[in-house]
Structure 1
């Protein structure tokens, strides 16, 4: 897993590092600029061949004392054959990073043009120092009265305008230059954003101000280079679309004092319990089955089905629960649907449940550890009664699809939610359950930090008193006490094939199976969501929902289980 830092946390971390005397602000800026150039060359090796030195910026080359600029690394001194770069610098420290990038590219033989969107005399001290170092090598152009078309012909445009510190919409002039850069991107120019694409809120992944027209937004940056840790906005909302590829470079900062990170994104490991260390790809304890024991030792999950002709979703959920390792899975069905289920199921048990009283009798069996309600359930009086019994039982419970509709329209059912529940809404279901939070998300983001999907999910979990898994490519999972994870199917983890009917039903089954096995609701939701994406990535194009449970054994074997 990867720790995320909000923009405020990153500023606090930089301030703690510089005020503690371990590193100067100028040294951090030198390291950041060098890291951007290294990331550019790693992404597009044709932009620069490594020289005899072998390349790489060592920490000692990054201006530790904040004095004279260090000599560029050997590989940056190669002649690039007159390639042209345009660097757009903003009025803050992000602009200072841009001046470092410009200087290093110039030292490699590039023809570099620098535009400053602001007044040099008002730059922060460290950024002003980098401005002056660049000024000794080339001019700083004023974009006022000039046209974005002047960037035409550049092989590279670097957006070092605002980065993570942006708290207001970009001006019309800057927006025009950014749109011009994106137009060039479509024509073959490479666009690189320093920290964040300008205009994008680092904490929410939302574009500040009026919505950006599709023709301006298309493409965004080709590469975004951030520092130390990613920001939530790299993974939420429009972030993955506008960032292109994401690279995070280290600049020598330590951990955040107190370790109070905003969230964790599952980007190479499974969700861990709150407070667990990040990193690694081993699953939480309990995912592997022991070599001993009875099926009931590994949990009994019950999936409650709807009427005849609508049972496919429940069957997929049941298959997901079984494949993820529940020792026993029972599908509780109305009597009229039993024959349909029996024709399609073998390892999944069947139990006739005509209504709420029958379900209550079934739940007298204390070996039943978890239930799944919602996939193909229906929304009538019978189904509302089933939901009421399930909630009153105190069992761990996944509520999806139709069950969320029932809860959203019945205050008594909503009030019966408890800490053992996991709600799994998509956007429309979230709006029915939490209309005020959804309305805030739908409002234009006037200032930053903007209200985010992470904020909405945390507030929803606190209100409901249970875990909420807010689905999407930027799935957010929140616990009522505030623990939160982002399970982003983005960048190298993109899994567009999950946009297929029934995939959410399988996810509900995965979570129910993990609950039955004894996982906490939060861990079950995090782990189920991570495995869900990994199954889709493993299978690849052509995926349908039925493939997800059947791919799970391969994914689990890949984890060494």
Structure 2
């Protein structure tokens, strides 16, 4: 598990470490600077000239320490610093005073006029940025864009909110780095919104505070294939189809069954023992002509759905893909009016639209899977906060939105996107960051969301918990897309799952 730590949580951890007496703040700053130097000399082994930009806070103190360490290695180092270094935090002042070389003003003009450097160290703003960047410092950040291929950012490219990945530069964008070095743990802003694009290569440096991690109450993490739920993907030699559940996936009418068939194929590929498509009478022949291993049942009405769900062997349900809003609303009514034994249910696509704005708790065993537009219809106030330009930091993030949506809905919410957020009503949350080596841009194709709904449904049918199924399914969905690569269409995704599963669970072949 790779945990994500907010700026406030990181401060709590560092404070607990310092107050324990085991370490000083200066020690942590020195370790951070040593980590930056090690990372940048590895990235640019032939470099020997650096320009270090030091801001007015502790990030600037890190910058002065980096400058001192590089000079000790024989580098030619030029330092630009914000005015009023004596007003920096005490540890930062100590590092500023330890720098014995000249200091130029931190201005865009000074940066442009100075000799060209091999590496630029962005230590202007880090985790503590809480106000919009304006004036001369905003111009400095903009000037860094011209040398972005040789910028190493200390904790964050300046102007990036590390809690949200959003810009704190009104009308502009943060600096861009080729390399970002952070300390202890990654922060949400490294993987959310603009963060992956602006941070470049990420290096996380251990500064010796892991023992105080409990002081922060960390609840967010990245989805990785070493999460415990992935162990549930395998099947034992004693397994048979009834030990891995029975998923029921509802279709729309004639000419609208393709999306549900994609979902059903994915549910079967992920290992559900049986998968049945529930179609209205008008679509029965259409579906029957298109399926083989899938089963088919006629479900015209809410009453027919209730009758189908009287079979307790059905262990998961999916409704929404291609369902049509009117049919979705009627079938949702059957689930919410009682009299039907609850079971884990994926609510996607048209069913989300039929659901409308969520004002109270839904059944706790539901999983909502909205993309951005659907999320705005379900939670318009949260979507509005996400789209508004932040007045200060920490800015409202997709993690915040996902957590608040899950708490309101009383069930798991999967807010889809390149940075998919999975949130549970108890406060747990994860991010699947499809960026860098994990990027899956070919998922931007019709039907890919229907496949994700089916994967999650299949995992639910197999008995995987709602939150774990959403996290695991999201990772597998993107991994299947990377396996196929360019030219992917949604039909390819279920067929790529066997190869992905073999890698994840360690089977030969």
Shorter-chain TM-score range? over 0.9
Is the contact made by 1:308 and 1:340 (CA closer than 8 Å) also made in structure 2? yes
Deviation at 1:102, TM superposition (A): 1.2
Q: What stretches of structure 1 of length at least 5 have no aligned partner?
A: 48-79, 273-282
> Hey, what's the Cα distance between the residues in 2 that align with 1:318 and 1:152?
62
1:226 equivalent in alignment to 2:189: no
- CA contact 1:209–1:445 (8 Å) conserved in 2: no
Alpha-carbon offset, residue 30 of structure 1: 1.2
Displacement after TM superposition at 1:548 (Å): 1.4
Q: 1:193 aligns to what?
A: 153
1:93-492 correspondence runs (5 A): 93-134=58-99, 136=100, 138-143=101-106, 146-151=109-114, 153-185=116-148, 189-212=149-172, 220-255=176-211, 256-258=213-215, 260-270=217-227, 272=228, 283-380=229-326, 382-391=327-336, 392=338, 393=340, 394-408=342-356, 417-492=362-437
Distance 1:151 1:312, change over 3 A: farther
Q: Residues 22 and 416 (structure 1 numbering): CA distance in 2 closer, same or farther, change over 3 Å?
A: closer
Evaluate the alpha carbon distance shift between residue 141 and residue 387 of structure 1 in structure 2; reply closer, same or farther with a 3 A threshold.
Answer: same
* Contact in 2 for aligned 1:299/1:368 (Cα 8 Å): yes
Residue 459 of structure 1 and its aligned partner are, at CA, apart by 0.9
Correspondence for 2:56:
91
Name the SS of the counterpart of 2:287 in structure 1: helix
User: Mean Cα displacement is larger for which, 482-491 or 319-328?
Assistant: 482-491
Contact 2:107 2:140 in 1 (8 A): no
Rate the CA distance shift 1:285–1:331 in 2: closer, same or farther, 3 A. Answer: same
Q: Equivalents in 2 of 1:363, 1:116: separation in Å?
A: 68
Aligned mate of 1:550, from 490, 495, 504: 495
What SS is found at the alignment partner of 1:246?
strand
Alpha-carbon distance change, 555 to 366 in structure 1, aligned in 2, over 3 angstroms: same
Q: CA deviation at 1:549?
A: 1.2
Kindly provide the CA deviation profile for residues 308-344 of structure 1, in whole angstroms up to 9, marking residues without a partner as x.
Answer: 1121111110011001110000011112222222222
Name the residue aligned to 1:278.
Answer: none
CA distance in 2 between counterparts of 1:435 and 1:244 reads 32
The structural deviation recorded for 1:151 is: 4.9
> 8 Å contact 1:151–1:181 — kept in the other structure?
no
State how many pairs are aligned. 502
- Cα RMSD between the aligned structures? 1.8
Cα distance in 2 for residues equivalent to 1:385 and 1:467: 22
What is the CA-CA distance between 1:145 and the residue it aligns to? 8.6
Secondary structure of 1:91's counterpart equals coil
Structure 1 residues 319 and 261: CA distance shift in structure 2, 3 A: same
CA distance in 1, matches of 2:449, 2:390: 29
Q: Which residue of 2 aligns with 1:45?
A: 45
1:27 aligned residue = 27
Cα offset, 1:285, TM superposition = 4.3
Write the distance in 2 (CA, Å) between the matches of 1:290 and 1:38: 46
SS in 2 for 1:45: coil
| Distance in structure 2 (CA, Å) of the matches to 1:533 and 1:145 | 41
Cα deviation, residue 540, structure 1: 2.2
Task: Render the CA deviation track for 1:399-438: whole Å, top value 9, x for unaligned.
Answer: 00000000016x7xx7672110000001100000010111
Q: Which residue of 2 aligns with 1:71?
A: none
Whole-angstrom CA distance in 1 between matches of 2:79 and 2:343: 63
Q: TM-score if structure 1 supplies the norm length?
A: 0.86
Q: Given the superposition, is the C-alpha separation of residues 351 and 145 from structure 1 closer, same or farther in structure 2, using an over 3 Å criterion?
A: closer
SS of structure 1 residue aligned to 2:458: helix
Q: 2:392 aligns to what SS in structure 1?
A: coil
Cα offset, 1:109, TM superposition:
2.9
